[in-house]
Structure 1
Amino acid sequence: MLQRTAVRAARAATPSSLRALSTAASDLKLQTSTTAKNVKYFKIYRWDPESKEKPYLCTYPVDLNECGPMVLDALIKIKNEQDPTLTFRRSCREGICGSCAMNIDGGNTLACLSPIDKKKDTTKIYPLPHMYVIRDLVPDMNNFYAQYKSIKPWLQSDVVKSDNTEYLQSKEDRKKLDGMYECILCACCSTSCP
């Protein structure tokens, strides 16, 4: 149906109407090419363990008019359009999984929850501090998980039940847990300590 309509329109087109369309299209190109860019620079920590090169900062320009509002959006745009070798973790894009944790402008945070600071010309991005780096912005989380496991951060009871029944919890006991179980294991807080 749509194809037939396009064919009919092409047959009905006169040379003057085609010229008008052509002029309108060139005007549109002119308008988009003269639109001012809102460029921000991202200085990103780069390190490849397979290379003998020392770690360095690489600068990438990003037009914020063509990018989402979060730092993770800029990283994805850089990886897709400028440098496919840029390495970082990401998953949910909603602050639930914690995989995009990194140091942005001196503070540990999740890239998916960190809005791009439009007031500054440059944003510096590093991997989480005090951790071994696997590559670029990807830290090795093995020591973090081992330390976490060593403190046994799960509920423990002094009473051992042998009859395979559940452990009952009062409303008062449940309220004691508020603020304790929201951790998403991103390591932002623990790597902030010097």
Structure 2
Amino acid sequence: MATPTLEKSGKAPEPEAGFADSPYITATFRIRRFNPEVSEEAQWQDFQISIDPKERVLDALHKIKWELDGTLTFRRSCAHGICGSDAMRINGKNRLACKTLIKDLSPEKPITVEAIKGLTVLKDLVVDMDPFFQAYRDVMPFLITKGNEPTRERLQSSEDRERFDDTTKCILCAACTSSCPVFWNDGQYFGPAAIVNAHRFIFDSRDEGGEQRLEILNDRDGVWRCRTTFNCTDACPRGIEVTKAIQEVKRALITRRF
């Protein structure tokens, strides 16, 4: 894709009298626009809006879409940091738009918003998530057991649960995977999110499919591609120690202890 150019700005209406006494500020959002039906080139477009700095980037995107440009395209659902659908690059960092407050972004300067990297951009801030979810499916992210169906609950101690508790927090937002330089350069790499979700079951004491998952991740596109840059850990909006989980999977492959 060619280097983006700067498009003519969209600007909100002038504020009403008394605005100076309100908590609102005028913020500029510089959004990387891409519409394959119009042009093969991406463009940066500026939008000026009046908004409370305590609101979120997602609120700003809604305001732009509803009041200035209805063609702006992005994903969102729950708006509370649980669904993970509104992951995007904000001021050069992967974040959830619904968890990022405008006041934390130095709003006196233009706030840049663009699609996450490493996945094909379909339109504006929307990327093709199919490769990401295929890697997730490939690691078999479900409980595998043998024998007959149990007649009672599978019990687990709090200590056993603690072993994999951190990786149960993943919301599949792709912020970690799309922050990984290896994934940017080679989309065949499983990526941090898939490995995190494999970790969640490999270290589950009730699961019996750990060996299968380890063999899958022992592939040339598995855990050995990780270069331990910690980008994934920094990008995770749920605070998961992603790099630590990847290292634990590597260790399990070497020792066969998990």
The verdict on a shared fold, with TM-score over 0.5 as the criterion, is yes
Counterpart in 2 of 1:146? Answer: 134
Tell me, in whole angstroms, the C-alpha distance in 1 between the residues paired with 2:130 and 2:152. Answer: 32
Q: Which of 79, 92, 115 is the aligned partner of 1:93?
A: 79
Matches within 5 A, 1:69-80: 69-80=55-66
- Once the two structures are TM-superposed, the CA of residue 176 in structure 1 deviates from its matched residue by 1.5
Counterpart in 1 of 2:28? Answer: 41
| C-alpha contact (below 8 Å) 2:31/2:114 kept by paired residues | yes
**3-state SS, counterpart of residue 72 of structure 1:** helix
Q: Return the index of the structure with the highest Cα Rg.
A: 1
- Once the two structures are TM-superposed, the CA of residue 168 in structure 1 deviates from its matched residue by 1.5
Unaligned runs of 5+ in 1: 1-30
Distance 1:39 1:163, change over 3 A: closer
Question: Which has the larger displacement, 129-138 or 111-120?
Answer: 111-120
Question: Which has the larger displacement, 86-95 or 31-40?
Answer: 31-40
Tell me, in whole angstroms, the C-alpha distance in 1 between the residues paired with 2:117 and 2:149. Answer: 47
Tell me, in whole angstroms, the C-alpha distance in 2 between the residues paired with 1:165 and 1:193. Answer: 44
Counterpart in 2 of 1:112? Answer: 98
Tell me, in whole angstroms, the C-alpha distance in 1 between the residues paired with 2:95 and 2:169. Answer: 15
| C-alpha contact (below 8 Å) 1:128/1:188 kept by paired residues | yes
Matches within 5 A, 1:1-194: 32-33=16-17, 35-36=19-20, 38-65=25-52, 69-116=55-102, 117-157=105-145, 160-165=146-151, 168-171=154-157, 172-194=159-181
The letter for the 1-side match of 2:74 is F
Task: Give me the TM-score of the superposition, normalised by structure 1.
Answer: 0.76
Alignment coverage as a number of residue pairs? 161
Task: Give me the TM-score of the superposition, normalised by structure 2.
Answer: 0.58
| C-alpha contact (below 8 Å) 2:54/2:101 kept by paired residues | no
**3-state SS, counterpart of residue 180 of structure 1:** helix
Considering only aligned residues, what root-mean-square deviation do their CA atoms show, in Å? 2.0
**3-state SS, counterpart of residue 88 of structure 2:** strand
Unaligned runs of 5+ in 2: 1-14, 182-258
| C-alpha contact (below 8 Å) 1:68/1:74 kept by paired residues | no
